Structure 1
Amino acid sequence: MSLNGFCKRSVYWIQDFLHGSKVGKHYREIKTVMRSAEIGKKIQSERLAALLAHATANTAFYQRYAGRPLEQFPIMNKSKLIENYDAIVVPVDKIPEQETEKVHVQKTSGSTGTPFAIYQDSRKRHRRVAELKYFGQMVGFQSHEKLAQCRIWTNWQSKTKSQIFRENIYPINVSKMDDDTLRELCRTVRENRITAIRAYASWYDSLLAFLISGKGDAADLKTVKVMFSTSEELNVATKEAFQEQFCIPIVECYADEEAGIMAHQKVQDNRFYLNHASYIFEILKLEEDKPAAYGELGRIVITDLYNYAFPLIRYDTGDTAILAKGNEETGGWDYLEKIYGRRLDLIYDTKDNPIHPMSFARVLKNLDGIRQWQFIQKDKSKYLLKLNVQKEKFDLENTLLEIRKIVGQDADVQIEYVEDIPVLASGKRKMVICEWKKS
């Protein structure tokens, strides 16, 4: 713990207290629920009853389910939510504790190739902040300690200098997965004595190779106490290598942009502790909407207890997992033994520089008219972008402009319009594919 972090953390909590402890109340409730399933299930049951009553009273889509238990509500995926969007949105004047005339619009990165924008109310936003603080502290990272945030920073999402100062979050743009970016990360960590890194799972593969090859100096990371892995499935060998060779633990965080943190590991503990404080979890069979048995691979379906602007009820995340029965160490709560998320192909630009596949998702989610997409590298400088679009809103010229910013101005980018992007045998769509075998 640093004096700098302590002071900024103290200022934050004092300001939150003076404004009614809007984050603090959520933080304390999360802590109470996660500590004990016996107490937590009572609170969870109350929150679920309130959510269902709200959704059935204030949305056209759910009003027909009034008075029914959760298991009689329909399973929803991203496509179904988009199809019924207007019937699910709650009018602002019907949202409790909403603080502004407009709700927050959270755009997803489209990690399945289906971009999606979801409304989140003020209370949901406070909840998400509280979740970050709780799960960070669970692995020994106090909020407002220095954190390197490695992600695709775009024109639509960035950190101002004042935000960096207040939050102690140092943004590192990892759209290019090259040695220069890795050197910048190591330099930033060394010069600012950063204590934690948050990055995409595949980024740690590149960082490990960079250090082992001798191009980077592991001493640059000596102040790092923990690293957070997000967005993709982490390579087990990479996780073990960082722990064994550099004594830096990597903890995996299962989260998405439309909901928030759904599960989190602890240091040197491979169990995924589900966020029972904010969600109802169902692990359903792969081929039918019935509960999977403990130890059986099933689909992750969540009900968000705190989004009153756009209720996410029985939302199929598109990921799969194995559920395990809770024990004393987990507070009696069930947990996940393993999560099977998405591993994404690496793409190269026309100069042979590796590009993180999330670069495309971060851009395409902000372009109007795109329902689904899939990006394929066919050869060194030949690419194919498959698109399912809403033609009256879609701007082809701007889309090609943004894609060439990523892969190179000399790129040969072909467009193929499709009615649907096919799913894999797992039921998931692969948004980025590399068919070029780099020599």
Structure 2
Amino acid sequence: MKEAKAELRKIVAFSEKEHEVFVANKKLEIVDFHLQNNPFYQELVGSNNYKNWGDLPVLNKQNLQKPLQERLSKEYSTKNSYVNKTSGSSGTPFIFAKDKYCHALTWASNMYRFGWYGIDFNTSYQARFYGIPMDFIGNKKERFKDFLSHRFRFSIFDLSDSVLEEFLHHFRTKKFDYINGYTSSIVLFAKFLQQKNIVLSTICPSLKVCMVTSEMLFEDDKLLLEMQFGVPIVNEYGASELDLIAFQNKEGEWQVNSETLFVEILDENNQPVPNGTSGRIVITSLFNKAHPFIRYDIGDIGILDEKSTLQNPILKKLIGRTNDVAVLPSGKKSPGLTFYYVTKSIIEDDGNVKEFVIKQTKIDTFEIEYVSEIALNLAQINKIEKAIALYLEPNLNFSFTRKKSLERNNRGKLKQFKSMF
């Protein structure tokens, strides 16, 4: 860790020109290493004689659906590497590895960014809104890791009012410094506080900041969190197999990690798009020697701000996942989040609806599942259907199902739009 922190400090201090040289060298170095030492990557590239960066293949998660042992570099094994599994929120989970130094740099990167808000991983007490293994041994191991990491975990598989009341009790009795966890769960807790007319920082004055991750944070939800928590809300975007990809800075911008990653925005032909244009987010891990993540398509669509530079890229917008695009009867393609934005703006006016998800079951058919105090009435349903016809296209079919709770994945994430078509 000491070495990793020192290297990160050095990278952060580079001038723009020094950073340009650093990135160019690291890109060459990591590709050459894997071409020499990784049979999986050698086979993928097909030749050592690539001339340009753009000649290299774009990796996707399907490429990685093979045993980890077949993807590791020479002299690396599951015993001398950090090994973990992705959450599978994209629909294709897989096991990955990082060499120990790369993993240390990931932690150094996290510590550096959280430090912008006065959070010290060694001393600051975290209120953690995450899933947890339900089996006895897995549960105890995770709780022990939480204890060592100075954090208290709120299990998010049951978010009923009685459980949220218990959450509240912990905030009254513990000196939390910050909240970190899945967006949807934290938003649900904020709605509970709103119902009770409680601002969290008044009962937990030690609270400094809240970091949300893994799921989309909408602007009105951010305003709700700021109002009910009484602290700054920070939006982070990361991937367990890589690092923090973007982290909201003190100016409110989503600052992309340019120290341990190289981030590209590519079109359907794997060509870079101009800043300000949407495209696939493709990422290279500049330090991971155990496993190649070179030009790795993470499965998300985003836009880099026009003012972005190589040293200081700014993620202007994260649009969603590539597999969360609705194909409509007219042939039009729309990000699934369009439905979510339109629906959300209508059904949350009175705070009745707690959460909802949208599923496309046929080309013209969508199911909306929601949790609420009172069922949606016909007028509200008609209003939603008219808005979607206006923003997308007419003659789409919707069904509305009120549920006690919504299905989350095994880590507790809520997938807000899913096309099953």
Same fold (TM over 0.5): yes
Which residue does 2:170 correspond to in 1?
A: 188
1:208 Cα shift?
A: 1.9
1:121 aligns with 2:172: no
Which residue does 2:418 correspond to in 1?
A: 430
Residues 315, 160 of structure 1: alpha-carbon distance in 2 compared, 3 angstrom cutoff: closer
Residues 246, 429 of structure 1: alpha-carbon distance in 2 compared, 3 angstrom cutoff: closer
1:31 aligns with 2:9: no
Amino acid at match of 1:354: S
Identical-residue share of aligned pairs (%): 25
Which residue does 1:383 correspond to in 2?
A: none
CA RMSD of aligned residues (A): 3.1
1:105 Cα shift?
A: 1.7
Which residue does 1:227 correspond to in 2?
A: 210
Asked if 2 retains the 8 angstrom alpha-carbon contact of 1:175 and 1:355, the reply is: no
Asked if 1 retains the 8 angstrom alpha-carbon contact of 2:59 and 2:296, the reply is: yes
1:190 Cα shift?
A: 2.8
Q: How many residue pairs are counted as aligned between the two chains?
A: 337
Which residue does 1:131 correspond to in 2?
A: 109
1:358 Cα shift?
A: 3.2
Alignment of 1:22-421 (within 5 A): 22-32=3-13, 36-63=15-42, 64-68=46-50, 69-82=52-65, 88-91=71-74, 93=75, 95=76, 101-144=79-122, 145-154=124-133, 155=135, 156=138, 163-214=145-196, 218=200, 219-244=202-227, 246-267=229-250, 269=252, 271-285=253-267, 287-326=268-307, 333-341=312-320, 345=357, 353-355=404-406, 357-359=408-410
Amino acid at match of 1:206: L
Q: Aligned partners of 2:316 and 2:170: how far apart in 1?
A: 35
1:49 Cα shift?
A: 1.8
Asked if 2 retains the 8 angstrom alpha-carbon contact of 1:296 and 1:323, the reply is: yes
Tell me the SS of whatever aligns to 2:64. Answer: helix
- What stretches of structure 1 of length at least 5 have no aligned partner? 1-15, 363-374, 377-427, 434-439
- Structure scoring higher RCO (CA < 8 A, sep ≥ 6) equals 1
Structure 1 residues 388-432: Cα deviation after superposition (integer angstroms, max 9, x where no partner): xxxxxxxxxxxxxxxxxxxxxxxxxxxxxxxxxxxxxxxx9938x
Tell me the SS of whatever aligns to 2:65. Answer: helix
Asked if 2 retains the 8 angstrom alpha-carbon contact of 1:230 and 1:255, the reply is: yes
Structure 1 residues 212-232: Cα deviation after superposition (integer angstroms, max 9, x where no partner): 111756333432211111111
Asked if 2 retains the 8 angstrom alpha-carbon contact of 1:251 and 1:264, the reply is: yes
Asked if 1 retains the 8 angstrom alpha-carbon contact of 2:68 and 2:95, the reply is: no
Q: Aligned partners of 1:188 and 1:257: how far apart in 2?
A: 28
Tell me the SS of whatever aligns to 1:45. Answer: helix
Structure 1 residues 154-205: Cα deviation after superposition (integer angstroms, max 9, x where no partner): 1446656654444211111111122233223322233221010001111232
1:279 Cα shift?
A: 0.9
1:86 Cα shift?
A: 5.7
Tell me the SS of whatever aligns to 1:79. Answer: coil
1:72 Cα shift?
A: 1.1
Tell me the SS of whatever aligns to 1:341. Answer: strand
Residues 159, 265 of structure 1: alpha-carbon distance in 2 compared, 3 angstrom cutoff: farther
Q: Aligned partners of 2:25 and 2:121: how far apart in 1?
A: 29
Q: Aligned partners of 1:186 and 1:23: how far apart in 2?
A: 38
Q: Aligned partners of 1:103 and 1:131: how far apart in 2?
A: 18
Structure 1 residues 327-380: Cα deviation after superposition (integer angstroms, max 9, x where no partner): 6xx8952211111235783788xx954256133678xxxxxxxxxxxx99xxxx
Q: Aligned partners of 2:273 and 2:73: how far apart in 1?
A: 32
1:65 Cα shift?
A: 3.7
1:84 Cα shift?
A: 8.6
Tell me the SS of whatever aligns to 2:234. Answer: strand
Amino acid at match of 1:114: T
Residues 226, 105 of structure 1: alpha-carbon distance in 2 compared, 3 angstrom cutoff: same
1:256 Cα shift?
A: 1.1
Q: Aligned partners of 1:152 and 1:41: how far apart in 2?
A: 39
Tell me the SS of whatever aligns to 1:228. Answer: strand
Residues 70, 182 of structure 1: alpha-carbon distance in 2 compared, 3 angstrom cutoff: farther
Residues 272, 67 of structure 1: alpha-carbon distance in 2 compared, 3 angstrom cutoff: farther
